[in-house]
Structure formats: structure tokens, C-alpha cells
Amino acid sequence: MRPSAILESALYVTDLAAAEAFYRDMLGLEVLGKVEGRHVFFRCGDGVLLLFNAEATTVPPAPDARLKVPPHGTVGDGHLCFAASAGEIAGWRAHLQAKKIAIESEFEWPQGGRSIYIRDPSGNSIEFAEPRIWGL
């Protein structure tokens, strides 16, 4: 058995409202659902991006909870990479600069393909990269 794809990825944030505004308004992702103070979920292509208030996810579910999601979370800056063609990376660069979002790093990988990196409001490292950096 082998997983065929990643269905969802999670980032943990310190300011849920700021994170929601960033991913919705700056990156254009569609909100799928949210629980105030706990999480906001976004559609991203065929997958889902989960943003959690890091503190809220450490609390175990009540014994009678309808959804018994176990506690999870992390501390520190996370990382997420969005797939983008070379042309899309150029478009993202222009869009981000127009929105006054600093590009932290930009380079060509030795095996081919470009990446640009930014930070979200919680300090997570967000990358836009050509899938060919992984031979895809």
C-alpha cells in the first residue's frame, strides 16, 4: 500500500484572523469552513489547506464529542510549498510585490526549477515552486 496524494496539509498560526485574511485576500484561496478561534480551512486545487490556532488543537476532544479528532500541533515556523509553473511564479512575484509582501528568497534549483519564498503573518515559510524541482 502507498498513499496516492496528500489530501490536506496543516499550518499552525498565532493569529487566526490575520492568517485567514492573508490566505484569502492575498493568496486568493477559498474558505471551506471555519470555527472561530480554532481553525479555518481553504480549498487549494485538489487539496485542502488547514490553518489551526496552535493552542486550540492541543486540547483533547470531550468524551462525548461528535468529531473525536486527537490533539495535534507544532511549535515554531512551518513550511508549505504551492506548485507553480515558471510563468505563474513570475505572476506571483509581481502580485506579491504589488501587495507589499516581501520575497524572502528566490533562486534556481541545481536540478532545474525556480522557487520564491515569503512569510505568512505567523512566520510560516511559504514557497511557490515549479514541480520539476521534485522531478514532477
Among 52, 58, 43, residue whose Cα is nearest residue 13: 52
Among 19, 65, 63, 59, residue whose Cα is nearest residue 42: 19
Rounded to whole angstroms, the Cα distance separating 60 from 74 reads 15
Q: Give the cell for residue 5.
A: 496524494
Place of cell 461528535: 66
The DSSP symbol for 98 reads: H
Per-residue pLDDT in tens (0 to 9) along the chain, 136 residues: 987 888 999 999 999 999 999 999 999 999 999 999 999 999 999 999 999 998 888 888 889 988 888 888 888 899 999 999 999 999 999 999 999 999 999 999 999 999 999 999 999 999 999 999 999 9
Place of cell 484561496: 29
* Domain boundaries 1-57, corresponding CATH code: 3.10.180.10
Question: pLDDT at position 50, please?
Answer: 96
Q: Domain spans of the chain?
A: 1-57, 76-135
When the candidates are 3.10.180.10, 3.40.630.30, 3.30.420.250, 3.40.309.10, the CATH number that belongs to 76-135 is 3.10.180.10
